[in-house]
Amino acid sequence: MKYIIAIGIFQALLAAVLLLRSRYRKNADDLLISLVICIGLHLSIKFFIFTFVEDQQVLTMMNTFIGFCYIPLLYLYTLKTIRPEFISASKWYVFIPFIIGAIGYFSTVCVLSATSPKAYLILYWYNTISLYTLLPLDIIFSCGIIYLAINKLPGNSQEKKLIIQLASLFLCIGILGVSFTIFSSYIFELNYVSRSIIYTLLIVITVRIITYKNGALADPISNTGNEFLLFADHYTAASGTDDKTNSEVAIEPLMDCLDEKTLVFEKEPLITQKRKEILSQSEMFKIVLKLENAMQKERYFMDNELTLDKLAKLTGANKYHISETLNHFVNKPFYIFVNEYRIEYVKEKLKSLSEENNTINILELAFESGFNSKSSFNRYFKDITTYTPREYLNLISKEAIVL
């Protein structure tokens, strides 16, 4: 069993390092990092117990409390994936079982260390209560997470597949835990077998997280890479040009070459058409890294006159290759890609100013981030975060008070 645990510790460490060093990391990935770190800590504690503890009662009955945080972390990751603007600290109460379990665990350790005559009785009750609390919670909330992912996340996204698979694995752990708990009273050897299987499943979880990150880099939009969107009916130019009907020619590259203020699009149904990609996935990935580096380090998004042509000159990339990459690798048009960075900048500023109790001028921050108008800023802020700027400010102010 110790070999299985050692492999699990290595896999958890590897997953955490890969996620931390990833240049394509999202905010939600911090929760995945926390999850694999917790798995590593859990297995490290078990490795210490099985290596240095000789008391058979402790070896067979001492459950760790860290298992109580797996499902809450996966639940928060699911919510963060569904709504990127979601603030994880707002659901702090999902860790109450973890906090209670930690108190019970360390209290039991203290009693065992003091060699109290009631130590084994306390160990029995700690093990029983923690076990019969953890397993039902794992089963119930794993099903809830699967339901959320199926109903709230887009069809073939990598994140949806990951969440459903991880929740299914935790569901298996819960069901196996219940089964082994029932039958271990009849077959003592099942205790050893059940723990080995559960630790193996934890290894599978860490490996799946590693493969998810590699898969997201290689194919971030899953099976939609060969599709592109055409507006089905028409678009109206501000200069008064005639309406356009469906065309065999893709208009998205043209849209990206024009200034955001030039076109006013009507909300019409979208049609998908197949097209042949010019660039390979690896070429588009390199362009994405170059664009992200330009936005994060050089902050080109703060230029309120930034266009596709200008960004191409600044980054030294072909403007058509940038458009190709954004539309079919990142799955976002140029202005949405740029404005997401602007909105993220405003969000960070609002949070820091709110924490410092400084005066906040939202419109000033909007212009500072690169927006040209209040209406454009409000529209994009609402579309990207689902909140108005004022609602978001009120939300983070409340969070600061709670924390």
Q: pLDDT per residue over 233-269, tens digit each?
A: 333 333 333 343 333 334 444 444 444 444 433 333 3
pLDDT in tens, 199-228: 899 999 999 988 876 655 444 443 333 333
For the ranges 48-62, 193-207, 356-370, the lowest mean pLDDT is seen at 48-62
2-218 matches 281-402 in fold = no
Nearest of 325, 298, 299, 320 to residue 308 by alpha carbon: 320
Helical pair 334-355 and 362-369, crossing angle rounded to 10 deg = 140
Q: What pLDDT band is residue 171 in, cutting at 50, 70 and 90?
A: very high
Indicate if the alpha-carbon torsion angle 35, 40, 41, 42 is positive or negative. Answer: positive
DSSP-derived 3-state class of residue 273: strand
Domain 281-402 in CATH 1.10.10.60? The answer is: yes
What letter would DSSP give residue 220?
T
The residues with which 229 forms a beta bridge, in sequence order, are: 272
Task: Please name the residue ranges forming H helices in 22-154.
Answer: 29-52, 56-61, 70-82, 96-113, 119-152
The full set of domain ranges for the chain reads 2-218, 225-274, 281-402
Helical pair 29-52 and 190-218, crossing angle rounded to 10 deg = 150
Mean pLDDT of all residues belonging to the chain:
78
Residues 236 and 266 sit within 8 Å (Cβ to Cβ): yes
Residues 104 and 66 sit within 8 Å (Cβ to Cβ): no
Residue 381: CB atoms within 10 A of its CB come to 25
What's this model's pTM, rounded to 2 decimal places? 0.57
CA distances from 194 to 57, 179, 199 (A): 17, 9, 9
CATH fold, domain 2-218, is Rhopdopsin 7-helix transmembrane proteins (1.20.1070)
For the ranges 56-70, 320-334, 339-353, the lowest mean pLDDT is seen at 56-70
